[in-house]
């Protein structure tokens, strides 16, 4: 399994010392189906191109945008592209993703995309999110592999879970916690922390104002275990966002 660190240009130097392949979060879709780029160091070479659709206009010319992406891959020797697409899949995004997968495959490069874009994934690696608040993590990955005829075209989107649930949490949704908020909460409550084998995450409970709370979170140990599970099942890649793991990178990437 290949491990990737997604970094912005100003974070690349700090992240590079951990000797993992970098996905350069420096690209977005601009007007007229153009590819816009943040300031990258001239010597930036290798790794992956990561492109965002945040606040992007419609992609009217997928072929032109694919051409721009492929030229940038050639200039910087990128081995593939990550679609960091957050919006609900739309026809123009799907058409672009589908064509980009074909173009990259022809140049022996790999496309990585979110699970929500799976229908465009004939020539791509689908990324499965690791943050789960219910069910069984290992079974989730096994089912994903079984549905796709194997895990070779699957990767992990390693998201660091930190969530506070008010019980009973019927919706399955909790309040996201920053690491600072989690640290303050643990310092105040001094809870007994347990490991959930099913969720592959740590948890504890506490009470406040007569309400019971259930806190679920990841640390270096749980993220490492999730990657091991994916690797054992044949998943081909795992992606980490540098800001999410900066404080635990030394333990994650020894």
In the numeric block, the tokens 């816009």 are attached to 36
Report, as an integer, the average pLDDT of 9-30: 95
Model confidence over 46-64: pLDDT tens digits? 999 999 999 999 999 999 9
Which string of b and e fits 65-75 if b means at least 16 CB within 10 Å? bbebbbebbee
| Weakest-pLDDT range from 141-145, 163-167, 248-252 | 163-167
Question: What per-residue confidence (pLDDT) applies to 112?
Answer: 98
- CATH 2.40.50.140 fits domain 2-161+218-252: no
**Mutual angle of helices 220-233 and 137-147, in 10-degree steps:** 30
Question: Residue 210: pLDDT above 90?
Answer: no
Region 98-114: mean pLDDT is 97
* 100 close to 81: Cβ distance less than 8 angstroms: yes
Q: How far apart are CA 165 and CA 185, in angstroms?
A: 13
Q: What is the pLDDT of residues 123-157, one digit of tens each?
A: 899 999 999 988 999 999 999 999 998 999 999 99
From 30, 29, 31, select the one nearest 81 (Cα to Cα).
29
Question: Any idea where the domains of the chain sit in the sequence?
Answer: 2-161+218-252, 162-216
pLDDT of residue 43: 82
pLDDT tops 90 at residue 16: yes
Angle of CA points 102, 144, 2, to nearest 5°: 65
In total, the chain counts a number of residues equal to 254
pLDDT of 42 over the 80 cut: no
Q: State phi, psi for 205 to the nearest 5 degrees.
A: -125, 155
Is the pLDDT at 121 greater than 90, yes or no?
Answer: no
- CATH 3.40.50.720 matches 162-216: no
Starting at the edge strand found earlier in the chain, the sheet holding 194-196 runs 175-176, 162-166, 211-217, 201-208, 194-196
| Whole-angstrom distance, CA of residue 250 vs CA of residue 254 | 6
pLDDT at 171: 67
- 8: its two tokens: 């912005």
Cis peptide before 168 (omega within 30 of 0): yes
What is residue 240's predicted lDDT score, i.e. its pLDDT?
98
What's the confidence (pLDDT) of residue 231? Answer: 97
**Which residues of 95-178 form beta strands (DSSP E)?**
110-114, 124-129, 154-158, 162-166, 175-176
How far is it, in rounded angstroms, from Cα 72 to Cα 167?
Answer: 49
The pLDDT value given to residue 167:
84
- Please report the pLDDT score of residue 254 as a whole number: 81
pLDDT band at 168 (very low <50, low <70, confident <90, very high): confident
Contact yes or no for 23/5 (Cβ under 8 A): yes
Quick check: pTM over 0.85? Answer: yes
Residue-level pLDDT at 105: 96
Bridge partners of 50, per DSSP, are 25, 82
């Amino acid at each position: 399994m290949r491990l990737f660190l997604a970094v912005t240009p100003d974070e690349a130097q700090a992240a590079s010392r951990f000797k993992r392949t970098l996905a350069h979060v420096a690209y977005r879709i601009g007007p007229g189906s153009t590819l816009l780029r943040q300031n990258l160091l001239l010597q930036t070479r290798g790794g992956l191109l990561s492109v965002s659709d945040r606040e992007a206009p419609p992609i009217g010319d997928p072929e032109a945008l694919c051409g721009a992406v492929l030229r940038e891959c050639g200039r910087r020797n990128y081995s593939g592209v990550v679609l960091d697409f957050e919006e609900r899949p739309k026809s123009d995004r799907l058409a672009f993703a589908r064509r980009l997968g074909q173009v990259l495959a022809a140049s022996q490069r790999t496309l990585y995309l979110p699970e929500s874009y799976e229908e465009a994934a004939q020539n791509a690696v689908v990324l499965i999110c690791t943050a789960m608040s219910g069910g069984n993590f290992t079974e989730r990955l096994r089912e994903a592999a079984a549905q796709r005829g194997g895990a070779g075209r699957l990767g992990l989107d390693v998201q660091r879970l930190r969530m506070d649930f008010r019980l009973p949490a019927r919706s399955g949704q909790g309040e996201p916690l920053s690491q600072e908020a989690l640290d303050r909460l643990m310092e105040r409550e001094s809870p007994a922390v347990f490991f959930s084998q099913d969720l592959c995450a740590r948890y504890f409970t506490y009470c406040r104002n007569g309400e019971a709370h259930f806190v679920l979170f990841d640390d270096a140990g749980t993220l490492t275990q999730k990657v091991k599970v994916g690797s054992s099942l044949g998943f081909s890649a795992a992606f980490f966002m540098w800001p999410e793991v900066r404080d635990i990178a030394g333990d994650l990437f020894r």
